[in-house]
Amino acid sequence: MSATTRTVDAPAGTTTRARVRKGRSRPAGDRYAGLVEGWLRSHTLLVYAFLYIPIIVVVVFSFNGTTRRVTQWDGFSLRWYASVLADKTIQGFLFNSFFVAIWTAVISSIFGTMAALGLQRAPKWFQRPFEALTFVSIIVPEIVIALATLVFFSTSFDILNPIFGLKLAKGYHTIIAAHAIFNISLVMLLVRARLSGMDRTHVEASYDLYGTPWRTFWQITFPQLIPAIVAGFLLSFTFSFDDYVITTFVNGQGTTTLPLYVFSTIRKGVTPATNAVAAIMLLITLTILVVGQLVVARNARRTGSRGRDATMASMLAEQSA
Amino acid sequence: MASLTEAAPAPAGADRPRRSFRSGALTALLLAPASLWYLLLLVAPLGIIVLFSFGERGKNGGYAGGFTLDNYAGALERNGPFVTSLLMAFGGTILCLLLALPLAYFIATRGGSKKSLLIVLLVVPFWTSFLIRTYAWLTILGPEGIAGFIGDATGNPSFRILGTPFAILLGVVYGYLPLMIFPIYVTMERMDRTLMEASKDLGAGRWATFRQITLPITLPGLITGSILVFIPLMGEYVVPAILGYSRVFLIGNQLVLQFLEARDWPQGAAKAVVLILIMLVSIIFYIWFSNRGRKVREVSVL
């Protein structure tokens, strides 16, 4: 089994030769080869099953026609989707989620990109503390950020409101502001990685041809940054759209989002309606992943970069290393 | 060279001071929003937490000024949730490593033409809502799922999985596994495969090759993955709240209880500061460990 896949998968040329040679001179102590291959294969299969079974369970049971218990299968039905989508309250939660996620993504990708560009021009005494803060924003647990911003908002509102006669309260703006902290850092890291890996020769050529810094930026640098910015935008959107921990502490009157709704319903017991809402959320975020993939791939084709960079997935994988 | 590529090209003569002023203004403008955000929403809130951690609790909760170290004494005295969290974080990280290592190895060395597909299949669960992926286990592990099945099979109808540390461990490993796989896969993918061939040609067995070649080279990936998993695990709140029925207490849940229900902000703040310190120390340790590993390797190569 393993031998066949090896020869089939091997690309043409030198690699094939190397593999064939390896096969021929296999050491005598390698009689466990089949066993090891089998174990690797089944381990991989089991981990993938582990990753997907819960998602499949949620999606499958969202089509359950039952009106009683969620695990009691009563035939395929779309009734829960119909009832969820017709529910005005849930529509409101969906709107809130979208509103918060879009603003978080816009703010994070613009300010994060600006910071990445500014940071490489900034003096050292500024770079170090700024990088330290980025580091802090990433390593401080989300729950601490959530509670700290909650305490900060309520304390400062308590102080400011009587003095200036304001009516500051928690709402969309507090959710978006708190979501943006982590996401600005995230976009900044993505764009900085792209900047440092960028081919400088084009920029120099542009200057040699008397291109102004402004035009050089928009015509040479910016197009090369697009994949990173797009990935950052979509990641921020997704993180914000799916966020429960921060949102639950800094949300205000009428700004409940879908994750908050899902959490409150599972406290009372999972219903097929919960699963339908969850499946709709999955559909939305996966659509975003596909859109991101298309944009990144199109950009890669246009700028002529191939392979590794051409998929959003590999970009994410690269980033995490 | 640097000034040519990074800032505006240096113009000649009298034009220069004005230009550099403008370039400085542009730099400041680019950095202003993010800096403001950090100061207002990161430095100020964390500063308030540090300040509150030395204060006293007000009569109706909240913060009432003063200076005391009692909150820290309290945090160190009742350290149960810290210990549980640390154990859970280390256990979870090790389990993720054990699950991720063979998987990443398989994709990197046996993936062939299906490599991209296999990676996309890892991104999809990572990209879906953590909350949803966690609550899915309620159905699977619940009395109508695995727990009920085991309970029936062993004749013990009160058998439970939800609400036990095992359920939480399962939930966190499940939730953060992709974060461990990505960096390990990337380092293995970049590894010079000829080293493995050479090792085999020199008569080393599978295990020796893995231990002496593959593992040291992928060490940076293992460490990055461990940090990425350890950070969210240490401050986990959602998984114990859902799968633990709040019966198993991690530090995240303790913080929420202290801030919101007991409204004892100073106590909660002290615990939050201790948690941040634990994170800092562990991450610095991880980084130190990886640097040390790198130095040892360089020496051995020489």
H-type helices in B39-79, by residue range? 44-53, 70-77
- Distance between CA atoms of residues A217 and B129, nearest Å: 36
Nearest Cα residue in chain B from A320: B183
Q: What's the pLDDT score for residue B13?
A: 41
Total structural domains in chain A?
A: 1
Domain hosting residue A222, numbered range: 84-320
Please state, in angstroms and rounded to a whole number, the distance separating the CA atoms of residues B13 and A128: 32
Q: Position of tokens 């816009």?
A: A106
CATH number for the domain harbouring residue A302:
1.10.3720.10
State how far the alpha carbon of B249 is from the alpha carbons of B86, B235, B237, B272, in Å: 12, 12, 9, 15
Q: pLDDT tens digits for A89-109?
A: 999 999 999 999 999 999 999
Instruction: Supply the pLDDT for residue A76.
Output: 83
- Residues B208 and B199: beta-carbon distance below 8 Å: yes
B294 touches chain A (CB under 8 A): no
State the helix-helix crossing angle for A312-320 and B165-190, rounded to 10 degrees.
100
Amino acid at B262: A
What's the confidence (pLDDT) of residue B212? 83
Report CB contact under 8 Å: B49, A47. no
Amino acid residing at B202: L
Cα separation, B32 vs B37, in Å, equals: 9
ipTM: 0.84
Q: Please give the mean pLDDT across all residues of chain A.
A: 82
Residue B50 CB: number of other CB atoms within 10 A?
A: 15
What's the pLDDT tens digit per position in B135-171? 999 888 888 788 878 888 888 777 888 888 899 999 9
Does the pLDDT of residue B289 top 50, yes or no? yes
Q: Within a domain: residue A239?
A: yes
Asked whether residue B198 carries a pLDDT value surpassing 60, the answer given is yes
If we measure between CA atoms, which residue out of A190, A172, A178, A191 comes closest to residue A137?
Answer: A178
Give the span between the Cα atoms of A22 and A274, in whole angstroms: 54
- Residue A51 falls inside a structural domain: no
DSSP result, B245-264: TTTS--HHHHHHIIIIIS--
pLDDT, tens digit, 9 for 90 and up, residues A293-314: 888 777 777 665 544 444 555 5
B105-119 in b/e burial notation, b at 16+ Cβ within 10 A? bbbbebbeeebbebb
Structure tokens at A44: 């991989």
Name the one residue in this structure whose structure tokens are 């993180």: A239
Q: Is A263 helix (H, G, I), strand (E, B) or coil?
A: helix
Query: What are the tens digits of pLDDT across the range A195-231?
Result: 887 777 878 888 888 878 888 888 888 888 888 899 8
| Bigger pLDDT: A30 vs B272 | B272
Higher pLDDT among residues A57 and A305, named by residue: A57
Chain B (26-55) residues lying within 8 Å, Cβ to Cβ, of chain A: 26-31, 33-35, 37-38, 41-46, 48-49, 52
Whether B297 has a pLDDT exceeding 80, the answer reads: no
List Cβ neighbours of B258 (8 Å cut-off, separation of 6 or more): B264, B267, B268, B271
Chain A residues 278-297 with a CB less than 8 Å from chain B:
278, 281-282, 285-286, 289
DSSP A11: P
Per mean pLDDT, which range of A69-83, A259-273, B181-195 is the poorest? A69-83
CA-nearest residue of chain A to B282? A139
Dihedral sign (CA B127, A274, B231, B39): positive
Residue A24 lies in a domain: no
Residue B145's closest chain A neighbor by CA?
A: A71
Q: Is A205 on the interface with B (CB under 8 A)?
A: no
| pLDDT for residue B19 | 57
Q: Do B203 and A143 touch (CB under 8 A)?
A: no
pLDDT in tens, B79-89: 888 888 999 99
Whole-angstrom Cα distance, residue B273 to residue B75? 10
Please report residues of A whose CB lies closer than 8 A to that of B206: 30, 32-33, 36
CATH of domain B70-301: 1.10.3720.10
Q: What is the mean pLDDT of residues B206-232?
A: 85
Interface test with B, best of A140, A238, A267 (most B CBs within 10 A): A140
Could you give the C-alpha distances from A204 to A123, A137, B5, B9, B180, in angstroms and in order?
A: 22, 35, 7, 10, 39
- Tokens 């899902």 map to which residue? A262
pLDDT of residue B42: 93
Residues B125-136 pLDDT 10s = 888 899 999 999
- Asked if B237 contacts A143 with a C-beta cutoff of 8 angstroms, the reply is yes
- pLDDT tier for residue A174 given thresholds of 50, 70 and 90: very high
Nearest to A107 by CA among A175, A194, A195: A175
Q: Which amino acid is at A152?
A: F
CB atoms within 10 A of CB A220: 20
The minimum CA-CA distance between A274 and chain B, rounded to whole Å, is 10
The residues, any chain, with a CB within 8 Å of residue A27's CB and separated by 6 or more, are: B200, B203, B205
**Least CB-CB distance to B5: which of A203, A259, A314?**
A203
Alpha-carbon separation of residue A110 from A47, A105, A247, A316 (angstroms):
37, 8, 22, 19
Q: In this complex, which of B116, B137, B238 lies closest to A245 when CB atoms are compared?
A: B238
Largest CA distance in chain B: 91
Of the candidates A51, A138, A262, the beta carbon closest to that of B132 is on A262
User: How does pLDDT run across B2-56, given as a tens digit for each residue?
Assistant: 333 344 444 444 444 555 777 888 888 999 999 999 999 999 999 999 998 898 8
pLDDT tens profile A30-53: 677 788 888 999 999 999 999 999
Quick one: pLDDT at residue B80? 82
8 Å CB contact between B81 and B254? yes
**Closest by alpha carbon to A93, among A262, A228, A245?**
A262
At B235, the amino acid letter reads G
Question: With contact defined as beta carbons under 8 Å apart, do A277 and A241 qualify?
Answer: no
> Which residues does chain B have within 8 Å of residue A281's beta carbon, measured at their own beta carbons?
129, 132
pLDDT at residue B276 is higher than 80: yes
The domain spans of chain B are 12-44, 70-301
Token pair in block for residue A253 = 């009157």
- Could you tell me the CA-to-CA distances from A309 to A198, A285, B251 in Å, in that order? 12, 22, 39
Which residue shows structure tokens 């040679």? A21
